[in-house]
Structures are given as C-alpha cells and as structure tokens.
Amino acid sequence: MNIDDQLPMITEKLLAFVDTIPIEMLLPTVIPQAAPLVATDPYAFAIAACLDRGTKAEIIWTIPYYIKNDLGHLDPHRIYKMPLDELTALFARLPQHPRYVNDAPRTVCELTCIVIEECDGDAFNLWKGRRAAEVKRTLMSIHGVGPGIASMGVLLIEKTFGIRFDDLDRTHMDIKPDVHTVRVLYRLGVSDAENIDSAITAARRLKPEFPGGVDGALWEIGRRFCFASNPNCTDCPMNGKCAKRI
C-alpha cells in the first residue's frame, strides 16, 4: 500500500492521540509551580506563546513565572508602563532566557499594548468572543510572531481555556514546524524530506482544511517516543502506521 492510501489512517491515529494528551504535557515547565500560572492566567499564557521560538518548551513556559518572581507581579497594567529599556533589563536578569532575548522585550511590549489598549486590560479578551482567524491575525501583528507560532497559540487556547472556535476547521492553519514535528512527519513517510517546507506540505496532505490539527500529536510523539536517536517505536501510538525512516 502506498503512502497516499495510508494518509487517512495516519491522520485518524494522530487525531485520536492528540485527544489523550493532558494539558500539562503541552505546557511543560522547568519548575512545577510555573505550570498553574500559564494554564490559568491568560496574560502569562500569551507571553509564553508569543515567545515560543527556538528554545526548549520547558524554558519558554516558565518565563512568565520568572518574570512574576522578579517583578513581584504579572500585572499587564504595570508592565504597560515599563519603558522598553526596563523590559530589556528584566529579560537580561532572568534565570533562563528565550533564544531571541533581544527581541523578547519588544514582543512583550507589543502584546501588552494590545491587552491594555484593545482588550480592557484582560488578556482573556484576546480570544473571548473572537474567531480563530481573527485571533491568529492579532498574534501575528506582534513582533516575532509568525504564522506557525500564531497557529500553535490558537490551538493551545482551545485546549487550555476551553474556548471553541467555530471557524477552526476552515482556517487552514499550518503546524508549527519544529525539530519534533519535522522529524516525525519524515519518519512516518508523509514528508518527502526532513525539513520545514516538506513538513508543512506533509501536514497539509494529512488534513488539508486544518493542518494544525495534527500539530500537538506530532510534537508530543517527537518528545516522548520518536527521539532523534534510539526512538521508542514499540510504545509509539503510530507503531504499525509508520514507514520508520530512521
């Protein structure tokens, strides 16, 4: 059977697996106390989601906790009043940093401006009563946030805050291609090469109307089973549907 015949079954298994992933695995943190913050505080969540580029997820989702510990608060109204140079100094003294630490202050500044000026100071209003496409556009308007990060943010908003976007299956949101999703799609045999462009194309083949729907499953499989070396194929939920290009 060729790979085109396998695509529906691969997609079905990925979507079934993503429903089993608890939120704490999608928002991993270095410090256990940091997990409840990003899972319950929309502003903390939005900060981490917008900074999620090129750094281990555990570090990114702990950054809001580090900020709160340093400042003694995570109040968007007070952060809104901080000059950019103060935000820069803040990020410089955090215990761990985003990869693009020089861009991070501007990202947080622009996000905070939107929260204060357009959302009445409540980050929950970034997505409350809005459609997925609108939320994605808003996130992409923030410095450093591309379509992959924005799509991932929208998907995690649904999972974390119980929001249901009625247009999600019509948004054509792509996956966020990282080392895990790229590797898993290639090893499954869906992607023609182990690179970002091929991964995006492969995810579109799996779920054309909503490629991002398989993102969480691919990412978690890459982290838990499909390691760069010595993958745990036996316990992988895709075992039996994988081309095992290793």
Using one digit for the tens of pLDDT, what is the confidence trace for 91-139? 999 999 998 899 999 999 999 999 999 999 999 999 999 999 999 999 9
3-state SS, residue 119: coil
| Measured distance CA(71)–CA(76) in Å, rounded | 12
| For residues 173-196, average pLDDT | 93
Query: For 34-47, what is each residue's pLDDT tens digit?
Result: 999 999 999 999 99
- Supply the pLDDT for residue 1: 52
pLDDT band at 162 (very low <50, low <70, confident <90, very high): confident
How big is the chain, counted in residues?
246
Q: What distance separates the 2 farthest-apart alpha carbons in the chain?
A: 61
| Measured distance CA(243)–CA(39) in Å, rounded | 36
| Measured distance CA(47)–CA(228) in Å, rounded | 29
What Rg value do the Cα atoms of the chain yield, rounded? 18
| For residues 143-169, average pLDDT | 90
Alpha carbon of 87 to those of 90, 99, 150, 176: distances in Å?
5, 16, 23, 27
Nearest residue to 129 via CA among 76, 165, 168, 167: 165
The residue with greater pLDDT, 24 or 90, is 90
The residue with greater pLDDT, 202 or 53, is 202
The residue with greater pLDDT, 79 or 167, is 79
* Percentage of residues in the chain having pLDDT higher than 90: 78
pLDDT band at 7 (very low <50, low <70, confident <90, very high): very high
For residue 223 the two structure tokens come to: 């982290």
CB neighbours of 13 closer than 8 A, spacing ≥ 6?
A: 237, 238, 241
- Supply the pLDDT for residue 161: 94
Nearest residue to 227 via CA among 135, 235, 170: 235
* Percentage of residues in the chain having pLDDT higher than 70: 99
pLDDT band at 54 (very low <50, low <70, confident <90, very high): confident
Residue boundaries of the structural domains of the chain: 3-21+174-224, 31-167
Please state the pTM of the whole predicted model: 0.85
- C-alpha dihedral sign at 133, 139, 143, 147: negative
Superfamily of domain 31-167: Hypothetical protein; domain 2 (1.10.340.30)
